[in-house]
Structure 1
Amino acid sequence: MTSSFSLTGINRTLLRSGLERYRNALVVIVASVMAIALTLTLLAPASAPNLARPSHADQVMLLTESWAKGDVIALVRHGERCDRSTTQCLGPADGVTVRGEAAVKVLGADFDQLGLQNAEIYSSMLTRARQTASAMFVRPVEAQDWLFNCRGTMLRDALKHKVAGQNLILVSHSECMDQLLVDMHLSTSTTFGYGATLFIQASGTNGEPQMLGYIEPKDWGSIVPVMTASSRHGFEASQF
């Protein structure tokens, strides 16, 4: 009888010891997973700021100031593609839709209010980009091959075409917007809609270009109050 009780006690001790080892191992595993997840989060590239969010009002003010100085490169995605929509096409199947043309005309008016006096404008050679540029701007826009064949060279080519004191507006494609983000070591997790615009500050000095953020066409109105406040502080920029 005594021997039986002894064996039972030993078994219980072994069981408790095994459970403690299992618990300790589980704690170590959970802690390791959390540490790895935190490290990956901290090391992950930052995303371009969404200028429509109130938390990025300072970026909007910086955009206003930089635009007035002619220090901005704006990369615009073309309008709605005809070959990926069931709505009426404006013309050729590789172009934009009638709805897309109407939307980018509004976007062009937004840019016009922002100010086009000191801006150079180029577009991709593809039909949808040329149609977008024609709808946005009353002036003729020169088409450039590098605004479509942009793999690995988007930022370099944009900076090469940037003239000091002149803003640069580029009508291009979502792939080239992603390439610009890659070139600036930023995350490409953002999906840019038709007519979305990326803004970077490029003063032409030895400093690195700075990502200011992006804006979707429907959100331009949300940054008007910030632009108005900026102009009241002496920035030479019109409201939009």
Structure 2
Amino acid sequence: MLSLTLDNPPRTVQRRPRPWALAMVIVLAGLAAWLATRTHIVDLGNEQQLNNSGLLQAWKNGAVLVMIRHAERCDSAPGPCLDDSTGITVAGSQAAARVGQGLQRLGLAEADMLDSPKLRTRQTAHYLLGQEAESAQWLETCDAQFPSEALAHKRAGHNLVLVTHNGCIDHFARQQGVPGGERESGYASALFVSVDGNGKARILGRMNEPQWQRVLASTAN
């Protein structure tokens, strides 16, 4: 019987990782780390998300900064104007009043209120608050300094209501790491932010104008 003896058995070849595969792993790891830093805006019109956000308790503690975009502009809507063409529409004034009812239910006794000097924001503030608010130029400028200005005006134990513009709210959301597709604010929508004792901000979520009836119902008792 013939037997064969292999003096040199085949060696296992160890393959080195290909450069492109290693690069892909690095890219994916970097992407995952970047996504982890993104802040997504919660829809506070959803009752469960509203309750989970902690907004109602934070508001009671005077720890909330809320930025509200002006109501529907007269110069970009088909409806009748309230009066001046640079202001808001009649429908916009009614929407602002509805949002104001929600704010009143949350409680404005200890809140500070500021608006942009633009007519559309001053009119919105009037219908929101039922009174004139103090105007501040930085609420119209809407530059990269807006987030720090907003936080600097937030007093401990006092909620701060800012009636401003989409561009200003965008700057704040951008600084908080919100992706571009989520930074757009609708007319009379409100972006709620909690501010802790060290001045650190955390976005709680957004409430659009038609959703404020849910706030009224949630705070009825």
TM-score if structure 1 supplies the norm length? Answer: 0.74
Per-residue deviation at 1:118? 1.0
Paired with 2:32 and 2:96, the residues of 1 have a C-alpha distance of: 36
Deviation at 1:116, TM superposition (A): 0.7
Q: Which moved more, 1:166-175 or 1:146-155?
A: 146-155
Per-residue CA shift, 1:142-190, capped at 9, x if unaligned? 1111111121112201111111111000000111111110121222312
* Structure 2 residue matching 1:67: 3-state secondary structure: helix
Find the counterpart in structure 2 of residue 145 from structure 1: 137
Contact 1:77 1:193 in 2 (8 A): yes
**Distance across 2 between alignment mates of 1:88 and 1:37:** 52
Whose helix proportion is higher, 1 or 2?
1
Q: Aligned ranges for residues 1-240 of structure 1 at < 5 Å?
A: 40=31, 43-44=34-35, 45-54=38-47, 56-60=49-53, 62-190=54-182, 191-203=184-196, 205-206=197-198, 208-223=200-215, 227-228=218-219, 239=220
Aligned to 2:16: none
Answer with 153-162 or 40-49: which moved more.
40-49
Distance in 1 (CA, whole Å) between partners of 2:57 and 2:113 is 20
Cα distance, 1:58–1:38 mapped onto 2, change above 3 Å: farther
Deviation at 1:42, TM superposition (A): 5.9
Give unmatched runs, 5+ long, in structure 2.
1-20
Q: What is the CA-CA distance between 1:55 and the residue it aligns to?
A: 5.2
What SS is found at the alignment partner of 2:185? Answer: coil
Q: Is the 8 A contact 1:48 1:187 kept in 2?
A: no
TM-align CA RMSD: 2.6
Where structure 1 has 5 or more consecutive residues not aligned to the other structure, the ranges are 1-27, 229-238
TM-score with structure 2 setting the length: 0.80
Summarize the Cα distance change of 1:85–1:210 in structure 2 as closer, same or farther, 3 Å threshold.
same
Contact 2:43–2:50 at 8 Å: present in 1 too? Answer: no
Output the CA distance in 1 between the equivalents of 2:29 and 2:194.
Answer: 31
Superposed displacement of residue 41, structure 1: 6.4
User: Cα distance, 1:215 vs. partner?
Assistant: 0.7
Is residue 142–residue 165 contact of structure 2 (8 Å, CA) maintained in 1?
Answer: no
Letter matched to residue 220 of structure 1: W
State the Cα deviation string for residues 110-169 of structure 1 (Å, max 9, x = none). Answer: 110111111010001111000000111123201111111121112201111111111000
Deviations 1:18-51 (A, max 9, x none): xxxxxxxxxx8xxx69x96796466242321111
